[in-house]
Structure 1
C-alpha cells in the first residue's frame, strides 16, 4: 500500500468548537471582516488549544476541530482538552468585553469533547498534503457539539470522556438524547461554569 494512504490508530480526545450564529454575525459584512473575525476570535481560541499541548487540526470557517493525545507527550489528553475548553471560555469573555466596547455583537460558542480510537493519517493531492484525524469518534464529537445548542450550554463531554475526569471537574449529567445520524441515545455531561481555568 502506498505510504500516502497509510494511517495509524490512536486513542485520542477530539474537540469541536463552533461559533453560534456565525452567518448572522457577518451578514452583509465586508468579506475582509470575516478574515479579521477569524484572526481575532478563532485564532485566539485556537491558541488555548495549543497552550495545553493540543493541536488545531483544521478551521471550518465558523469553528475548528482539534485533537489531543496524538504524537505528543500529554499524560492525560482528555484533561488537556477540558483545560483548553475552560481556557477558551475565559478567553471568550475577554474577547466579548472588547467587542462590547467596540459596539460589535458578542460571540457565543459550543464545544463538544469525546475520547476514543481514531485513525490518524495523511490525505494528499498533487497540491495539498494534509495530516488529519478521521473516524466515528470525530463524527460523534461533532454531533455532541451540536447538542450544546439543544441544551443551551457551552461545553459538553461524552460519557467516555466524563468517566476519565469525573473526579477532576464538576459536571452536570444531561438527559439522554439521540445524536443526529446515530441510532442510540447518548448521555452527555455539561462542564459547569464553576470549574476554573488552570493558570
Structure 2
C-alpha cells in the first residue's frame, strides 16, 4: 500500500479494522496491454522490462493523481481501486478521469516511442462500481491489501471486452449511474459476462478522442444509437441500415461492423421470444 495512504488510514483511527477486512463500495479499474506477447518478443527481455517500467510509471501517476489506490500489477496488467480503503463521494468520476488521462498520456508516450523507432503500446481499460471485500489477504510470509468479489471480476471482464468492441475504455452501467460529471459516452451493448446470468449495460468512454482519432464522432454515435434501438427491437434490416450509415461516416468504427455481423447472424437464427438485445459473452 502507498505509505501516505497507510498513514492516513492509521490517523483515521480505524485503519487496523479496515486492513482486517470489510465490505465497501469501490470503483475498480483494470488495464491490460494489447498484443503484449508480440511486443515483448520483438523487444527482447531487457527492453521489455524497461518498456513496462516506463509504462507503469505513467499509469500509476494517472491513478494516484486522481486519488486512486494501486492494488497490484498482474504481469502487463494492473488493478486499481477508487473509494477504498477510505470512502470518497466521487470515486466513479475519479476512476473515469484517471482512465481518460491514461489514454491521453499513452498517446504522448507512443509519439515519443515512434520517434525513437520503438513499437507503440495500446491498452484497454475496464471500470466497474460495486460492493467489494477489502483487506489484507495472503499468507503469514506475505500479505497485500487488496479487493475481491464479483465487482472486481466484472471490471476485469469489461477490460477484456475492449478487444471485442475496439474500445479503449469501457464502464459498466453501475459506474455510469453514479457519475456526477458529464462525459462523452456511447452505449455499446447489454452483455452477459462469462459465469453470470444477468445482463449488464456497458458504455464506451470517448472523451480522449479528437477529430484525428475518431472522425465524425457525433454522426457515428447518432447512427449507432439508432441502430442499437432497432437491433433491440429485432428490426435487423433497419438496424443494418443505421450501422451502415455509421460506417459511411467512419469506416473504421468497430462496433458498427460488429453489429452488422450480428444482425445478419440473427436474421438467419432469430433470437427467442422476449429477447431484448442482450448478448452472451463466451470469452473472459
For 1:75-94, list aligned pairs within 5 A. Answer: 75-94=89-108
The answer to whether structure 1 residue 172 and structure 2 residue 170 are counterparts is no
| 2:85–2:134 CA contact under 8 A, matched in 1 | no
SS of alignment partner, residue 161 of structure 1: helix
SS of the counterpart of 1:11? Answer: strand
TM-score normalized with structure 1 length? 0.90
Would you say the 8 A contact 2:93–2:181 is kept in 1?
no
**1:28 to 1:101, Cα distance in 2 relative to 1, 3 A:** closer
Structure 1 stretches lacking a partner, 5+ long: none
Name the one with the larger helix percent.
2
Q: Quote the residue 1:112 is aligned against.
A: 126
1:58 aligned residue: 72
Report 1 or 2 for greater relative contact order, CA contacts < 8 Å, sequence distance ≥ 6.
1
Q: Deviations over 1:151-173 (max 9, x none)?
A: 00000010011111275212100
Residues 1:33 and 2:47 aligned together:
yes
Say whether 1:191 aligns with 2:205: yes
Q: Structure 1 120/102 Cα, relative in aligned 2: closer, same or farther at 3 Å?
A: same
Which whole-Å CA distance do the structure 2 matches of 1:80 and 1:31 have between them? 34
Q: Determine the C-alpha separation between the residues in 1 that align with 2:171 and 2:145.
A: 25
Q: What CA distance in whole angstroms lies between the structure 1 residues aligned with 2:51 and 2:78?
A: 14
Tell me if 1:101 matches 2:115.
Answer: yes
Q: Is the 8 A contact 2:30 2:127 kept in 1?
A: yes
1:73 positional shift: 5.7
Provide the rounded CA distance (Å) in 2 between the counterparts of 1:173 and 1:105: 31
In the superposition, the TM-score normalised over structure 2's length comes to: 0.64
- Structure possessing the higher radius of gyration over alpha carbons: 2
SS state of the match for residue 32, structure 1? helix
Q: Which runs of 5+ in 2 are unaligned?
A: 1-16, 211-284
Indicate whether 1:163 and 2:177 are aligned: yes
